Structure 1
């Protein structure tokens, strides 16, 4: 199973450590194509925005499922989710805030979960990947 993990990069890196923990958990279920999202020190200066876009779209196309942490609002994450919907990918979004974007929570084909601790995500992953 190829997993596309999405989380905020330019929108804010305050959850990078959490992303790394989520990615480690996801590795039990398949190959995480976007493992770099969990790195504290991303080296974006080494490649152009066009290269970032094209690589991410290639990974998104190759993926079997999209997992997104959407607590920190991000234009890029929203874009990836929208493109994933066009590709008819199963999409699972997780957030710690009371509410998330209505465009995410209001879309019937996006599975959205509120959580408070990483342990809750682990239980949800177990259920999700059994169903996939």
Structure 2
């Protein structure tokens, strides 16, 4: 039963990107209020995900929320990351992406290559990416 339906004990896909795809509404409902957006995510997101699957949604919602008060994309992307625990894989991955963007600001392909080198083997889906 919700909200435990998204927990890894009940859902082998708890770390998939479902909530990341759906979470924009939480940021739209809480313009400039990242903590409120996170609270909405806590109530809704665990229906489908936990762990990194849920953190992705919180991050997306935080970016939407911040976009109401800033048009500085770098600020939005880095500030929203503060809503995610630093020890999570999601945080580490996004932090790497931001770091590579800073290192290769005019070369998205190099950034993508760095992502592939480090993160392409991190597959949370129990059946794999192409199953």
Whose radius of gyration is greater, 1 or 2? 2
What is the TM-score of this pair, normalised by structure 1? 0.34
What is the TM-score of this pair, normalised by structure 2? 0.35
Q: Higher helix fraction: Structure 1 or Structure 2?
A: 2
Q: Higher strand fraction: Structure 1 or Structure 2?
A: 1
